[in-house]
Amino acid sequence: MTLCPPLLKFRPILLDKPWGGDALWRVLRKGHPGEKSMGESWELSDRAEACSAVEGGPLQGTSLRDLLARYREAILGEASAEDLLGESGHFPLLYKFISARQKLSVQVHPSTGSLLGEAKTECWYVVDAEPGAELIVGVVSKGKTRGEILERLKSPRCEEVLHRWPVKKGDVFFIPAGTVHAITEGLLLYEVQQNSDTTFRLYDWGRVDAKGNPRALHLEEAAEVADLQGRGDYQIPSLRVEKISHAEDYLVACPYFALVKWHGFKKNARLETHGKFRVLTVVSGSFTATTEEGEAMPLELGDTVLIPACLKEVRLDAGGPDAEIIVSFVPDMDKDVREPLRHAGYGEKAVKALSGPALP
């Protein structure tokens, strides 16, 4: 008989960044007061350079990699374990919060099949945004050749071709691999992405380190993988499904990941895993997650918990009317996305929009 691990909460991995700020502490209470350059909090990561370890409980200190070695099918599900781990043998997704006091570099990531590095498709949920905050996603290509766009992207003239989007709390953006993008100042984002850390920088706003040295750029690699077609469907309109106990907003759904925000709780709700792992992240208020065995775990704003596939059902009790939690997983697009949304009355066009722009 395969042992079933409990609910799994991990110790955040905090990373200083030259563009980081104080929002991770100020909003989410991650890190320590007074920290002014904390850029990222990796909540769930299976990377050699930053592997998550369990926080609390009987598995305290156990790394995610060791958990997968010991409980692979129990965590991922018997039917999907091999497909999810792929050739790397690592957990398929990486979860993080990003706090930007300054603009990040203009960058791009390779797509599946590229020989230049690991593929990275990602999405952003805006947790907090200062008035006037913007995101850079995609390019403005009308009337310009690919060569002209590339020349601008690697110079201060990049502003002429970058597509800026005004943003507010609760907005969702889908960033397919190959999309030119940059997070800008005044933002706190929740990011879900393929398990990759391959980034090619095109422009870094003239930023230098303490010794006056600029960060490395990767112009040739970026030029090879960048999608430079002007597209307008990176911002995803959510699709709502009303339940008896709560509402579910489908935020993003693609073959790599799906995100559904649960909110508007009228009473406790039951989350069924259907034999697949689920990841929960609190983006407003608080919750208590309780297993069928009676294990209860309090969850505060910014907390992330991995629900192993072997736990068939978890009860979610909202701490107040403002409580919101994002449920994410690797979907079966037909069973997990199209069927419930069609049943709720949505057409194929609306459902397809959850996967963002169709890239070549």
* 0.85 exceeded by pTM: yes
Among 255, 260, 282, 283, which residue's Cα sits nearest to residue 272?
260
Tell me, what's the pLDDT at 1? 44
Contact indicator for 201, 223 with CB cutoff of 8 Å: no
CA distance 66 to 60: 12
Low-confidence ranges of the chain (pLDDT < 50): 1
Asked whether the domain spanning 239-355 has the same topology as the one spanning 8-225, the reply is: yes
Strand 162-166 relative to strand 134-139, pairing: antiparallel
Enzyme catalytic residues = 201
CA distance 252 to 259: 5
CATH superfamily of 239-355: Jelly Rolls (2.60.120.10)
Tell me, what's the pLDDT at 89? 81
Reduced to 3 states (helix: H, G, I; strand: E, B; else coil), residue 160 is: helix
Among 19, 164, 169, which residue's Cα sits nearest to residue 98?
19
Among 105, 100, 90, 84, which residue's Cα sits nearest to residue 41?
100
What are the strands of the beta sheet with 239-242, ordered from one edge?
8-9, 304-307, 278-284, 324-329, 258-263, 247-253, 239-242
Q: What is the 3-state secondary structure (H, E, C) of 212-264?
A: CCECCCCHHHHHHHCECCCCCCCECCCEEEECCCCEEEEEEECCCCEEEEEEC
CA distance 228 to 145: 9
Among 110, 124, 93, 122, which residue's Cα sits nearest to residue 199?
110
Domain 8-225 in CATH 2.40.30.10: no
- 120's CB contacts (< 8 A; 6+ apart) are 109, 110, 177, 193, 194, 196, 197, 198, 199
- Tell the burial category of 32 from Cβ atoms under 10 Å away from its Cβ (0-12, 13-18, 19+): exposed
Domain segments of the chain: what residues?
8-225, 239-355
Tell me, what's the pLDDT at 81? 61
